[in-house]
């Protein structure tokens, strides 16, 4: 039977590879390779199907205007007639979606300002790759056809604003559709204002206070009259070489106090004499490896690198809008390489309101090498003391992530209550298991069944908040390349869930999430329980321990494989992460996907009727990722010395996490608490049964059971007296509270010397070799030292900008593997429980992999966090 099951697992894995391939083939615009000329060629419609978004058009012009658009024409009675306009979203806005990258969209608008169509050219949304069909996003964008670009369109049915028009969202892709809604409206409005369809909103002009005494550069920076926009090479996909890509300082010059401080009295007077009433001057100074003026500028052309944006208005600059800035009068000005004064010639601009300086740049995708336009911006708002009456009241639009949080506030509150209830129940586990018996586990089972049901129905099917290994991979990449809180805040339930998971792992290990709160794990457990109640119990079985011990390593291999692949191609890793059936089960539905996905997920659910949690124990990469830090959880389950030779708990352990010596592997334990029920049950736990019978024969009373799992002695033991041990316990050599035998590190002799102990332990974490290891393995140790020096040199070169993070990460990963080998020969021990504790035990290979991997991850994260603010990464 076990060989048949093993064959079934292999077949399921083959199906995973097949469906990943088909999934990649079906996602036509996911990370699509767009023509390089798309962003620069005047002939936009030579490279994209403009006719699809402007039906009936037979001719298209070259790009016009700033931001650019294309005119679409039809033929009526042989004459050319303007139909409308076609434009590319990334020519106008750079609004990131859930993936952190924009959805590149081609948009059509008729001459009256109504949308005529849109086409998704490229996206990086993983949820549209392996979860929700891409056709759902296409269906969503069709809702804009016929809508006026100036309409107030909102996601969902608005119950507060009667003027708002509600659009149907995509369940499970809220962030994506909110971002796409902003893209459609912003792009349409920008072009509509350029061509005269929409009139710009006029803002009241600023009235300035009288000039004050000249101020220094630092004083102007401190009060906000000068703003700084810094861009690192990594922000545009380039390798850092110890120099910023561009450091820019800018400010508004019309205000007398600011202008005179920066230009001097004569310079300010000269500038003002050249400006007309509705004209405004800003200054920019910059240094770095690139130029804000651009290298392709020609006389009569446009400075296409910098813009000023205020509200929905965008102001660009031509050569006539440029003035030389020869010097800055304020004391303390930083060194700069280039400078300029730009003139905003528009009556729609008001210095009394906030505005943004926007820099456009070409960003290189580190994975594909593709280039795309991206924008960097910084807000500027004159200090209130320089405006008569102070700053006007400005109603700011909530960021996308905050809109999502506000819209899902009832769900968030309910979810937090569920997590708090689960933590409270498990925190009271000792009381609950004392009230239970092996035959009556209602005190444990009923709360757990409630949590399972809520997790399946509310968290899984309703809120679709099933955590995934792709989020772990995203966390790794965000930490190494570009951390954005908005990316993680965009899904509030997942954000809250992960904070809970992180905290609970360090308290109790992965079991509270995996065994109690994971929607898919809860579903498979409920199916197993129901199948047993419905007459299938006689067909239910466990794998032989020998096969379990082999197959449990599969999930670790899958996790490390996905992690390694993700650093070469995140898209491929996301496709291969379909080994998790979560999207098929909860997000899309078993019968709403291609048959290989349904077959794989259905097979796992079917096997779960007969084997308890097969996916959790053997295939789940998320469980493997969470198992690594579980080695160092603070609180474990209680054990008795008799647990080794007794093995009664192991017989009933559904996770097969208890070995022959009675020791619990916390990486595999799902905290079902069955062993804890037996721990206090004097009719099930053999040591307690034996003592109960002995007391009964002797006519002695039964005292309460203590926290150690034994009857409290009838006569109190003297202070310092050894605890009572049965004959079985006395013969047991293993310590069931530890997964392996106890060990004593060399620095344990620092007893009483806290500083010496901390120093010795820190050195022990950083230095993997020992004196005895050198004597026994000279060749291996010498190679290790060479590798350590090489890794250090790699870090230094990376800090100097000579190497990318990917190369450093490869060396760091190689060093970690080597450190595992070295420590197994030199320092073969790890801590049992929290790192602040003093219990040590012998390390097996998996213990050392968990210890070294987790330790080096923390060291690497700390180094990146320290070096990134210094501009070294």
Q: Is the pLDDT of residue 615 over 80?
A: yes
Instruction: Render pLDDT for 47-60 as a digit per residue (tens, 0 to 9).
Output: 999 999 999 999 99
Tokens of 807: 């190369």
Q: Is the pLDDT of residue 12 over 60?
A: no
Q: What is the mean pLDDT of residues 258-278?
A: 93
Q: What is the mean pLDDT of residues 590-601?
A: 84
Which range, of 95-109, 445-459, 491-505, averages the lowest pLDDT? 95-109
β-pairing, 153-155 with 165-167?
Answer: parallel
What is the rounded CA–CA span in Å between residue 442 and residue 689?
22
Q: What is the mean pLDDT of residues 495-507?
A: 92
Instruction: Render pLDDT for 631-647 as a digit per residue (tens, 0 to 9).
Output: 778 888 888 888 877 77
Instruction: Render pLDDT for 355-375 as a digit per residue (tens, 0 to 9).
Output: 999 888 877 766 556 666 677
Q: Quote the distance between the C-alpha of residue 702 and its chain's center.
A: 55
Residue 90 pLDDT: 87
Assess contact for 820 and 734: CB atoms under 8 A: no
Contacts of 546 (CB under 8 A, 6+ apart): none
* Residue 219 pLDDT class (50, 70, 90 cuts): very high
What percent of the residues of the chain are helix, what percent strand, and what percent coil, each to the nearest 5? Answer: 50, 15, 40
Average pLDDT value for the chain? 82
Residue 364 pLDDT: 73
Q: What is the mean pLDDT of residues 224-230?
A: 95
Q: What is the mean pLDDT of residues 150-161?
A: 62
- Mean pLDDT highest for which of 505-519, 626-640, 713-727, 799-813? 505-519
What is the rounded CA–CA span in Å between residue 24 and residue 30?
8
Q: What is the mean pLDDT of residues 431-442?
A: 92
Residue 333 backbone zone (phi > 0: left; psi -120 to 50: alpha; other: beta)? beta
* Residue 22 pLDDT class (50, 70, 90 cuts): very low
Which range, of 13-17, 499-503, 862-866, averages the lowest pLDDT? 13-17
**Consecutive H or E run containing 594:** none
- Mean pLDDT highest for which of 225-229, 294-298, 666-670, 770-774? 225-229
What is the rounded CA–CA span in Å between residue 418 and residue 421?
5
Residue 766 pLDDT: 83
Residue 305 pLDDT: 83
In terms of pLDDT, which residue wins out, 25 or 750? 750
As a whole-number percent, the residues of the chain with pLDDT over 90 amount to 36
Q: ∠ at Cα 850 (847, 854), nearest 5°?
A: 145
């Amino acid at each position: 039977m076990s060989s048949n099951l093993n064959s079934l697992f292999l077949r399921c894995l083959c199906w995973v590879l097949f469906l990943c391939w088909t999934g990649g083939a079906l996602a036509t615009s996911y990370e699509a390779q767009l023509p390089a000329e798309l962003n620069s060629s005047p002939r936009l419609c030579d490279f994209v199907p403009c006719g699809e978004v402007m039906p009936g058009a037979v001719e298209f012009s070259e790009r016009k205007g700033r931001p650019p658009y294309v005119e679409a024409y039809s033929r009526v009675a042989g004459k050319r007639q303007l139909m409308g306009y076609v434009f590319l979203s990334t020519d106008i806005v750079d609004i990131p979606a859930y993936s952190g990258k924009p959805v590149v969209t081609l948009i059509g608008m008729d001459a009256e300002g109504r949308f005529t169509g849109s086409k998704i050219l490229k996206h990086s949304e993983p949820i549209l790759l392996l979860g929700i069909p891409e056709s759902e996003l296409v269906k969503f964008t069709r809702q804009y056809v016929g809508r006026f670009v100036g309409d107030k369109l909102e996601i969902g049915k608005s119950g507060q604003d009667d003027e708002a028009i509600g659009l149907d969202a995509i369940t499970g892709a809220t962030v994506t559709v909110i971002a796409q809604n902003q893209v459609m409206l912003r792009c349409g409005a920008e072009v509509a204002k350029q061509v005269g369809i929409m009139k710009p909103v006029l803002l009241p002009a600023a009235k300035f206070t009288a000039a004050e005494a000249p101020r220094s550069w630092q004083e102007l920076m401190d009060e906000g009259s000068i703003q700084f926009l810094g861009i690192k090479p990594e922000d545009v996909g380039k390798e850092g070489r110890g120099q910023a890509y561009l450091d820019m300082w800018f400010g508004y010059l019309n205000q007398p106090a600011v202008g005179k401080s920066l230009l001097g009295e004569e310079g300010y007077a000269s500038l003002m004499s050249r400006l007309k009433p509705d004209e405004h001057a800003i200054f920019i100074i910059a240094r770095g490896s690139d130029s804000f003026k651009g290298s392709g500028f020609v006389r009569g052309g446009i400075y296409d690198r910098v813009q000023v944006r205020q509200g929905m208005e965008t102001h660009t600059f031509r050569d006539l809008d440029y003035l030389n800035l020869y010097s800055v009068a304020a004391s303390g000005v930083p060194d700069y390489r280039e400078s300029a004064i730009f003139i905003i010639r528009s009556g729609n601009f008001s210095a009394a309101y906030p505005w943004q300086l926007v820099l456009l740049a070409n960003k290189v995708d580190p994975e594909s090498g593709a280039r795309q336009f991206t924008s960097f911006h910084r807000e500027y708002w004159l200090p209130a003391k320089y405006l008569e009456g102070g700053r006007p009241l400005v109603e700011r639009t909530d960021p996308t992530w905050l809109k999502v949080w506000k819209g899902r506030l009832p769900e968030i509150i309910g979810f937090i209550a569920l997590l708090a209830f689960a933590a409270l129940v498990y925190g009271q586990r000792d009381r609950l298991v004392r009230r239970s018996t092996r035959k009556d586990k209602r005190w444990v089972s009923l709360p757990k069944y409630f949590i399972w049901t809520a997790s399946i129905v509310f968290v899984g099917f309703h809120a679709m908040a099933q955590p995934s290994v792709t989020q772990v991979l995203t966390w790794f990449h965000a930490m190494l390349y570009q951390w954005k809180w908005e990316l993680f805040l965009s899904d509030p339930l997942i954000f809250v869930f992960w904070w809970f998971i992180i905290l609970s792992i360090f308290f109790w290990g992965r079991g509270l999430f995996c065994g109690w709160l994971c929607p898919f794990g809860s579903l498979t457990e409920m199916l197993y329980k129901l199948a047993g109640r419905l007459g299938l119990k006689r067909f239910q079985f466990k794998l032989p321990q020998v096969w379990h011990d082999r197959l449990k390593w599969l999930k670790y291999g899958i996790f490390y494989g996905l992690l390694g692949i993700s650093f070469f191609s995140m898209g491929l890793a996301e496709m291969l992460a379909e080994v998790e059936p979560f999207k098929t089960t909860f997000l899309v539905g078993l019968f709403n996907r291609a048959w290989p996905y349904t077959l794989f997920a259905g097979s796992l659910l079917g096997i779960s009727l007969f084997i308890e949690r097969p996916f959790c124990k053997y295939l789940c990469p998320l469980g493997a990722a969470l198992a690594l830090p579980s080695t160092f959880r603070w609180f474990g389950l209680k054990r008795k010395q008799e647990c080794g030779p007794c093995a009664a708990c192991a017989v009933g352990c559904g996770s097969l996490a208890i070995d022959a010596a009675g020791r619990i592997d916390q990486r595999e334990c799902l905290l079902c608490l069955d062993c804890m029920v037996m721990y206090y049950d004097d009719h099930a736990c053999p040591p307690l049964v034996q003592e109960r019978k002995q007391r009964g024969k002797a006519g002695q009373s039964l005292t309460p059971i203590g926290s150690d799992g034994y009857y409290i002695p009838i006569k109190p033991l003297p202070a310092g007296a050894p605890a009572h041990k049965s004959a079985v316990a006395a013969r047991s050599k293993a310590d069931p509270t530890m997964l392996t035998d106890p060990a004593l590190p060399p620095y344990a002799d620092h007893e009483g010397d806290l500083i010496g102990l901390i120093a010795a332990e820190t050195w022990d974490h950083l230095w993997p070799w020992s004196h005895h290891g050198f004597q026994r393995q000279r060749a291996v140790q010498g190679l290790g030292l060479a590798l350590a020096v090489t890794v250090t040199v790699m870090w230094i070169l990376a800090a100097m900008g000579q190497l990318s993070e990917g190369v450093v990460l490869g060396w760091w990963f190689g060093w970690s593997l080597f450190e595992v080998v070295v420590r197994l020969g030199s320092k073969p021990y790890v801590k049992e429980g929290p790192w602040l504790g003093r219990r040590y035990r012998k390390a097996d290979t998996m213990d050392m992999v968990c210890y070294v991997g987790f330790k080096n991850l923390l060291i690497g994260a700390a180094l990146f966090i320290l070096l990134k603010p210094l501009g070294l990464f």
